Amino acid sequence: MKAPNAEIVSIGTELLQAASADTNSLYLVEQLQGVGIEVSYRTVVGDDRRRIHLVLRQALDRADVVVVTGGLGPTEDDRTRDALADVSGRRLVLHSETLKGIEERFARRAVAMPEAAKRQAWVPEGFVVLENRHGTAPGLLWEEGERLLVALPGPPREMHPLFVEQVLPVLLRKAGNGQRIRARTVKVCGLFESQVEERMKELLHGDHPPVSLLARPGEVHVRVTAAGRGEEVESQLQLWEEKLRNLLGEAVFGVDEERLEEAIGWLLRRAGKTVAIAESCTGGLICHRITNVPSSSDYFKRGIVSYSNRAKKDLLGVPFSMIERHGAVSPEVAVAMAAGVRRVAGTDLGVGVTGIAGPGGGTETKPVGLTFIALADAQGEEWCEHRFRFDREGNKLWASQMALEMLRRYLLKISGQD
């Protein structure tokens, strides 16, 4: 049986502007690939009824599954419902249950319902209406022969649960022909995407279950999909996870929903170590990530955002003379920050991060993105240099990622797993 393919259509004029990112389609690509459905096309179209109609017609001609996001709201520029009616040859009809749900939602909030909100209750005749428990615009589903068309609201907090709870079961039946299809994502840090690909070249190009790579900031995700019945699926996934771990070694820090900061928490608990963090260019991002893990107070004892030189001196004991001699962004200062925060917090480990996030502040010898990360323990300190090439937020994210990765590799080393 030929595996179905899919096209994702993102609707919204704002998505054609430079300031907006189409994160919905990235989410859907991951979800669809997870159930073995290949995404052949991703299309973005503005809020124009005629153009949406043309794009949908084209998508239905070349894909088995078409997933649409956006344009289902109450305003005049939300034209997806009209285009769906056009492409299906159906008329819009009032869906009384949806209208009732919208009215009740406004009543619970004690807010007068605007007349425009009723537009969301008009749906193409014959479409299956998918209840939206997180908003007012329902999802819509329509089958034309072997083709499946799904329309979902644009806000991610509405689209994600609606897709998982009501669309995914339909896709699993369509993709699996009675079989279970499951995916596992093995997460890697410390290797570039090309290095991951090189190590697992045979798996990517051989006669194996679908394996795909997805580069994320500071990470590479390797997703493998397996199909089968009963426990056969889990056995296949476990086998492939073991193969990937053997190929990628210590670069693997987790699977599926596991995050790098969770992996570090587990390693700190196992080693019986505590840690404190001193941050400059990352502005507290590392501490934020660590404390997002429940019960992290067991091993995380203090975080200091020493953004100014004065703060580095007063809070961490970094000598002014050192900053004047080497600069605030230097390996010497990073090491002094790591040793200083370890001392004042009384922890086993200290981490110090200093860098130039940008967009200003760089020089020829110290460009934007230059970052030094240091780690201190009772035996001494070590440090590393990075040169990131992103915008301010990107540089901060990568710096936090590499600081956590340095800590992870240290913990693996002291536990004898390097």
pLDDT tens for the chain, 418 residues long, are 466 889 999 999 999 987 788 889 988 987 887 777 888 999 999 999 999 999 999 999 999 999 999 999 999 999 999 999 999 999 999 999 999 999 999 999 888 999 999 999 999 999 999 999 999 999 999 988 889 999 999 999 999 999 989 998 888 777 655 566 677 899 999 999 999 999 988 777 666 667 878 888 899 999 887 777 767 888 888 999 999 999 999 999 999 889 999 999 999 999 999 999 999 999 999 999 999 999 999 999 999 999 999 999 999 999 999 999 999 999 999 999 999 999 999 999 999 999 999 999 999 999 999 999 999 999 999 999 999 999 999 999 999 999 999 999 999 998 766 5
Residue 138 DSSP label: P
Report residue 87 CA to chain centroid gap: 33
Task: Cis check for the bond before 114: say yes or no (omega within 30 of 0).
Answer: no
Question: If residue 222 lies in a helix (H) or strand (E), which one and from where to where?
Answer: strand 219-228
What are the residues facing 128 on neighbouring strands?
Answer: 141
- Rg of the chain, C-alpha, whole Å: 26
Say how far apart CA 343 and CA 364 lie, in whole Å.
Answer: 34
**What is the H or E stretch that residue 144 is in?**
strand 139-144
- Count H helices and E strands in the chain, helices first: 15, 17
Rounded to two decimals, what is the model's pTM?
0.72
What pLDDT was estimated at residue 181? 67
Measuring CA to CA, how many Å separate 233 from each of 54, 62, 103, 219, 301? 40, 30, 44, 26, 42
- In this prediction, residue 396 carries a pLDDT of 97
Long-range contacts of 313-321 (CB under 8 A, 24+ apart): 315/278, 315/340, 315/344, 316/278, 316/340, 316/341, 316/344, 316/352, 317/343, 317/344
Count of positions (residues) in the chain:
418
Task: Indicate if the alpha-carbon torsion angle 87, 88, 91, 94 is positive or negative.
Answer: negative
Predicted confidence at residue 28, as pLDDT, reads 92
Contact 223/185 with Cβ under 8 angstroms?
Answer: yes
d(CA 232, CA 308) in angstroms, rounded, equals 57
